[in-house]
A and B are shown apart, each in its own frame.
Chain A
């Protein structure tokens, strides 16, 4: 089993005719993902990597039965295309592009939640379920099938943790990039909940980083709801303190956002804090994870 992606996931690629969209379509198909169509307004009727291209999301969904979408659309056009995708009835959306204005993400998040759509990103490498498929840019060579779930704020560190586990013969059920932006479309706790409920997942690794309060909020969820073991690594111990101006963020959060603050919250919730990424191998061994 896996979360979010399974055998019935039928993916369309938005921005499929772009340089990155077409290259990533190649890698997703090679990994066995059911990429059933692509969308680029004005390029309908053509094809990329043997996949038919449509002018609109509505048409693509109607013709192909797609139920998921991955975005390689230029940042300035993402909001518009995202709303179009939700209105076309797609229930799982992955937003790979970076540098999307926060004001747009705020609207996207609000609309997706209102319509019951599960969306990830922006600035996410996407989702990969080893042996089943992937939506996004995760490099397949790092992953192996198994029963550990990974959620990461950082794309590159999701590969790093999967790679370390795979080298130690510990596979993954699903690897999820939640996105690295200050506002993301789904919070960490929402994804933890999916892993807690997934029969194919025995334990979860949270890869966080300094700043914000995703990990602190997730700690609340872990202590209240999680029965499966959770390990957490927080990057940024040696990062210089930002030249922060303004107080509103700190007042609203009431948390420091420091690595130490996150460690304390996660430990108190019963999660195991990993001081360095490589320690994940010993943790997996301790729980006899496969």
Chain B
């Protein structure tokens, strides 16, 4: 789960990281009030959960109340990369002597936490990593050994910094590492970490993504996970316990695995357009597939449904019963093609056929999509 910048800044502040004076506003008047307390000029930052927000016009400056009114009005209610701006963060505009980068993530390949630092923070950090790798340094942390402050100090020495900056920066690294551990984050990042004219540091941005699989055991209060999903269908998917991604096509997909779902999208995408990605994981029951049918049928203009499931861990015969119950109760008229293989496949085919579902018994998903295309043709 990704936290909003304002939520992450609160956590950073509670853990001792220096952050700007700020307030969160849902209306122009709230923004005006906060700016009055902080003093002009202020930064206005759209709170949307997407990268590249600054380049998309979501981060602006206001030097006077009039300017703030104008900027706040244009940001609130607008869209940044398709996401509605409901709140803006109003914060003091820091004087910048230098912009640093600090990120902590889990390196998937080595399976270890890694701390990444750069003396050239800012929106072009990935570009810097490619063109000037000498300005980037990284250190993996051995999970059995743990983190110690000297690791941060020696990391920063690799960048050839002065001791004053090393001391201040390594403190922030220790604080952020502590947050990453306690909040079980997949990414904890400050970009930029600003060096002030007096040599102090200030985290003017905050990224924190918490491991969904760890949410139930994190001891700190976190915002609700389902509430923050903007798309109503995706929110519904999360609520019933499946992964649903809304797309702009008209062929609905239910799959029992992420890889199979992606392959189904790829194959459908050659001639038609998928309406969604839906993956059940290993928890199929009759009720779950009933709810999945209900969910994908909420999409307007659906022309057909493709069900692609394997009976390995999943009782697919149970799933088929749920699909059929939905078809009968809701008098579904659009064509449904199902490929269901594995344990109890014959029984599953019988159940699907009893409800008028077209069953394809070959292993290749391409064959099933050919059948679907035969039934509905191009859009």
Assess whether A101 is in contact with B214, with CB atoms less than 8 Å apart: yes
Q: Which of B148-156, B255-263, B320-328 contacts A (4 or more CB under 8 A)?
A: B255-263
Tell me if B220 counts as interface (CB < 8 A to partner A).
Answer: no
Q: Which of A3-11, A136-144, A192-200 contacts B (4 or more CB under 8 A)?
A: A136-144
Which residues of chain A in 134-181 are interfacial with respect to chain B, using CB atoms and an 8 Å cutoff? 137-142, 152-157, 159-160, 163-164, 166-167, 180
Tell me if B294 counts as interface (CB < 8 A to partner A).
Answer: no
Q: Which of B17-25, B62-70, B109-117, B295-303 contacts A (4 or more CB under 8 A)?
A: B109-117
Q: In the assembled complex, which residues on chain A have CB atoms less than 8 Å from the CB atom of B349?
A: none
Tell me if A102 counts as interface (CB < 8 A to partner B).
Answer: yes
Q: In the assembled complex, which residues on chain A have CB atoms less than 8 Å from the CB atom of B260?
A: 154, 156-157, 160
Tell me if B223 counts as interface (CB < 8 A to partner A).
Answer: no
Assess whether B363 is in contact with A75, with CB atoms less than 8 Å apart: no
Assess whether B266 is in contact with A235, with CB atoms less than 8 Å apart: yes
Q: In the assembled complex, which residues on chain B have CB atoms less than 8 Å from the CB atom of A27?
A: 343
A187 to B117, CA, bound (A): 26
A32 to B191, CA, bound (A): 56
Which residues of chain A in 177-211 are interfacial with respect to chain B, using CB atoms and an 8 Å cutoff? 180, 182-184, 187, 207, 209-210
A265 to B356, CA, bound (A): 45
Q: In the assembled complex, which residues on chain A have CB atoms less than 8 Å from the CB atom of B113?
A: 106
Tell me if A237 counts as interface (CB < 8 A to partner B).
Answer: yes
- Shortest beta-carbon distance from A157 to chain B in Å: 4
Tell me if A62 counts as interface (CB < 8 A to partner B).
Answer: no
Residue-wise, chain A 274-290 has the 8 Å CB interface mask toward B (1 for contact) of 00111000000000000
Contacting residue for A154 out of B114, B259, B270, B345, CB 8 A: B259
Assess whether A101 is in contact with B217, with CB atoms less than 8 Å apart: yes
A138 to B310, CA, bound (A): 9
Assess whether B114 is in contact with A252, with CB atoms less than 8 Å apart: yes
Contacting residue for B116 out of A153, A154, A239, A251, CB 8 A: A251
Given A153-B259, A156-B257, A182-B186, are A110 and B126 neighbors across the interface (CB < 8 Å)? no
Tell me if A249 counts as interface (CB < 8 A to partner B).
Answer: yes
Assess whether B267 is in contact with A209, with CB atoms less than 8 Å apart: no
Assess whether B213 is in contact with A99, with CB atoms less than 8 Å apart: yes
Given A164-B363, A166-B363, A251-B116, are A235 and B142 neighbors across the interface (CB < 8 Å)? no
Assess whether A101 is in contact with B107, with CB atoms less than 8 Å apart: no
Residue-wise, chain B 246-264 has the 8 Å CB interface mask toward A (1 for contact) of 0100000001111110110
Contacting residue for B312 out of A139, A246, A253, CB 8 A: A139
Assess whether B262 is in contact with A209, with CB atoms less than 8 Å apart: yes
A164 to B256, CA, bound (A): 18
Tell me if A96 counts as interface (CB < 8 A to partner B).
Answer: yes
**Nearest opposing residue in chain A for B125, CB measure:** A247
Q: Total interface residues on A, using CB and 8 Å?
A: 72
Assess whether B126 is in contact with A100, with CB atoms less than 8 Å apart: no
Tell me if B245 counts as interface (CB < 8 A to partner A).
Answer: yes
Tell me if B365 counts as interface (CB < 8 A to partner A).
Answer: yes
Please report B residues at the A interface, Cβ cutoff 8 Å: 2, 49-51, 81, 83, 101, 103-109, 111-114, 116, 118, 125-126, 129-130, 136, 138, 142-144, 181, 184, 186-187, 189, 191, 207, 209, 211-214, 216-217, 245, 247, 255-260, 262-263, 265-270, 274, 277, 281-282, 310-313, 341-343, 345, 362-367
CB<8 Å pairs between A and B, sample of 13? A102-B213, A110-B111, A141-B345, A156-B310, A163-B341, A164-B363, A167-B362, A235-B266, A238-B262, A243-B49, A243-B81, A249-B105, A251-B118
Please report A residues at the B interface, Cβ cutoff 8 Å: 20, 24, 27, 75-76, 96, 98-103, 105-107, 109-111, 114, 125, 137-142, 152-157, 159-160, 163-164, 166-167, 180, 182-184, 187, 207, 209-210, 212-214, 217, 233, 235-240, 243-254, 276-278
